Structure 1
C-alpha cells in the first residue's frame, strides 16, 4: 500500500466532525483509503456502495435504514447518486449529537465536487468537513520508495493507481482509454448533464490542446457548433468531475493590465497523453506539447500538496510578463514559481519583472532534475520532489 498524504487528515477529521465527505475522481483510491482506515478504528462500521442495486435499494426508506445503525460509522460510497440523503443526514446527525455522539458518524465518498453536490442537497453546514483525494502525486510515490522513484513514469502514465501500477505501458494506455470512455458514456450523464458522449469526448480532446493556456471559447464553440455559454458549461462539468483544473489569474494590487481568463490544465497527465494520442514516452519527449505537459504535471502536484494556508494563481500582464504559479500564504509569503523542463533551466527577464509586480519574496524554478542550486542571487533552481518536501514541512 502506498501511504496517502491525506490519511492523517482523514483520521483527524473523523475524530472531530460528525460527517466527513471524501471527494475526488473515480478510481483515485477513495474506497481503498476509507476501508483501510476504518479497520484501524475502534468504532464498528457499515459500508454501502450506491453503485450496487442491492445497496441502493436499502435506502428506499433511508431514514429508517440508517437509524438502525446508531453508534456505528456509516460509509456511503458514490453518494452523488443520492444527493437527497444530505437532508436526512442532517436530522440524523442532530439526533445522534443529542445522544452524546459528536464525531465519526458518517463517511461519505463521492466522485463529484462539493459545489455540484450542494446544488441539489442540504449543505450540512457546521456538520461536515470536505476533503479531496486526488490520484497519486510525486510526494506520495517518492516517500513510498525514494530510491526506486521514477518521475518520468508518473508523469507519462499519470497518478491513477491502476494506470501508474500497471505491469506495462500498454496496459496503462488501455486502462486510461477505458476510463475516458466510461466517464463520458456513464459517469457524467449519471449526475444530470445531458451531453452526448461523442460530443463530450471530442470537447475533452480539443481541450487537451489548450492544456496550459487560456481557452478561447469562441473557437471551441465554432468547432463543436454550439454557443460559447455551452462550452463554458462543458468546461464546468469536467471541472466538477475533477478532470480539469482552472487556475485563476492573480488578482492583487497592480497598475499593470492583466490577463483575466483562467488557465486550463487537464489534472492527470496520463489522461492528457491519451487524449493527445501520445502512446509512449519517446513520443512525449518529441511532442510539441511536452513543455505544457510537464508544466501541468508540476503545477498539479504542487496544488495537491498545498495546505489551507496557501492560495494559488498565475500572473500574466498585457506585456507578457508571466509567472507560471503564484503561491500566497496567510503569513504574507509570496512565492513565484517558474516551471522548466530543461535540465539546465534559464529564466527570462519578464519573470523577474512579474516578480517585482507582485512583490514576490521567494523565487523558484522547478526543473526536471534533482540538484538544487542558485540561478541568480534571489532565484533557486529546485527539483519537484525537493520542492514538495519544502512545501510540506
Structure 2
C-alpha cells in the first residue's frame, strides 16, 4: 500500500548511488525501506538479498565468491546488521570494483539499528558510502487535508494508510508488541518486554519533557544505568529522539538534560491508547505531541548536516527548536498549537542572546504574520517550505 505514496527520499538515494559506491539506508522496521529499495532495484540491473531469509544468508556464506559474480550490478542487502562480518568483505568488494571501473551504484545496504550499523560500517566503509535515513511519511509526502490524519496515526505506511482509525491503532499496537517480544531480543538484549513497554509508555506521557532519569528509574524500580541503557536502545532503533540542549554559551546557566520525544506521533498515541482525533484533542499530551510532530518534520526538511537542539536557561529564556544550518545560519523556532501568533518574552530574549538569523513561530493559523524583533508566524507547511528552500 505504501507504493500509493511516492517517497521524497527516493531521488536523494538515487542521486547518492550515482555519486558513491554505496548507500546505507537507515530507518526503523516497517517504515518502507524494503519497498523503496526494491523500487530502485527494479529500475537498475540489481540483485536483492534479505538477511532475515535463511536462503539469502546461505548465499553469502562465501561472500566474495558470490559478490564477484555480481560485479557491475547493484547489490541490495536488507537487514545487514544481522551479518556484521559482511562489512569487511564489502570494503574489499568496493575497492576491487573501483579498480575494475565500477565506481558508483554498487551497494545499497538497509539497516534497522542506526548506531550499531553506523559503528560497524564506519570502520570498514569510511569514505566509500553515504548515509540516509528513511523516516515515516512526512507532511511533504501527503496532501494538505491529510495532515491531521498523519499527526494522529503517524507516518508508518501501514498505519497511515489503514482503512479506519481503529485498524490503524491495531496495527501500531501489533508493531509495538512485535518490537518488544521479537525484534529487541534479536539484538541479544535481555530486557523484559513488560519493563521496556512501561518505560516507552512513560516517555510517551512525558512527550517533549526534559529527561529525568532518576524519576524514571524510581518508577520502574531499576537503576539509573538501566534507564540509560533502555533509552540508548530506543534512540538506536530510531523510535525515540533525544534532543540535546544548546551548549555553546558556556557562561550561561543552561539546562543540561536533553528533551525526549517518541519520534512517530502515531506510536506515542498508541502507547497512550489514543484512537481518535477527538480523544487526542482532549488529552493532556496534545501540546507535547504536536511539538514532537512538528520537530520531526522540521528536522527532516532541514538541509543535510543541520544540527538540532533546544535552548532553555535558568532565567526563563527558551526556544523549542534550534537548527544550526551548514555554514552557520541559526534558526530559532517556537511551536505552539494556537491560532494566536504570539511568543513569550523568553523566546525573544533567547533569540537575541543567540543572534538567531531566522525567528519563526509555527502556529495553527494559515496566514504568515510578521511580529516584533524579526519574528514571523507561519503554518508548519510554510516553515517546512522555507527550510527546503534554504538548501537550494
Aligned partners of 2:8 and 2:63: how far apart in 1?
33
Contact persistence 2:303–2:325 (CA under 8 A): no
Deviation at 1:118, TM superposition (A): 4.1
**Which residue of structure 1 aligns with residue 43 of structure 2?**
40
**Which residue of structure 2 aligns with residue 59 of structure 1?**
60
TM-score normalised by length of structure 1: 0.94
Aligned partners of 1:111 and 1:214: how far apart in 2?
26
Q: How does 1:1-393 map to 2 (within 5 A)?
A: 1-41=4-44, 44-113=45-114, 115-120=115-120, 122-141=123-142, 145-146=143-144, 149-253=145-249, 255-376=251-372, 378-393=374-389
Match of 1:150, SS state, is helix
Residues matched between the structures, number: 385
Aligned partners of 1:232 and 1:64: how far apart in 2?
42
Deviation at 1:38, TM superposition (A): 2.4
Change in CA separation of 1:53 and 1:225 when aligned onto 2, cut-off 3 Å: same
Contact persistence 2:41–2:48 (CA under 8 A): no
Deviation at 1:57, TM superposition (A): 2.2
Aligned partners of 2:46 and 2:183: how far apart in 1?
27
Unaligned residue ranges in structure 1 (runs of 5+)? none
Contact persistence 2:303–2:326 (CA under 8 A): no
Contact persistence 1:252–1:358 (CA under 8 A): no
* Deviation digits for residues 20-54 of structure 1 (CA, Å, limit 9, x no counterpart): 1111011111111111122223xx11111112222
Aligned partners of 1:244 and 1:206: how far apart in 2?
12
Deviation at 1:309, TM superposition (A): 4.4
Larger proportion of helix: 2
Change in CA separation of 1:355 and 1:18 when aligned onto 2, cut-off 3 Å: same
Contact persistence 1:243–1:266 (CA under 8 A): yes
Match of 2:203, SS state, is helix
Aligned partners of 1:76 and 1:259: how far apart in 2?
42
Aligned partners of 2:357 and 2:126: how far apart in 1?
37
Contact persistence 1:302–1:388 (CA under 8 A): yes
Deviation at 1:170, TM superposition (A): 0.6
Deviation at 1:377, TM superposition (A): 5.2
* Deviation digits for residues 43-82 of structure 1 (CA, Å, limit 9, x no counterpart): x111111122221222222222222211211101111111
Contact persistence 1:80–1:191 (CA under 8 A): no
TM-score normalised by length of structure 2: 0.95
Aligned partners of 1:202 and 1:86: how far apart in 2?
35
Aligned partners of 2:82 and 2:59: how far apart in 1?
14
Deviation at 1:372, TM superposition (A): 1.1
Deviation at 1:369, TM superposition (A): 2.7
Contact persistence 2:241–2:261 (CA under 8 A): yes
* Deviation digits for residues 316-337 of structure 1 (CA, Å, limit 9, x no counterpart): 0012210000112233322111
Q: CA RMSD in A?
A: 1.5
Deviation at 1:305, TM superposition (A): 1.3
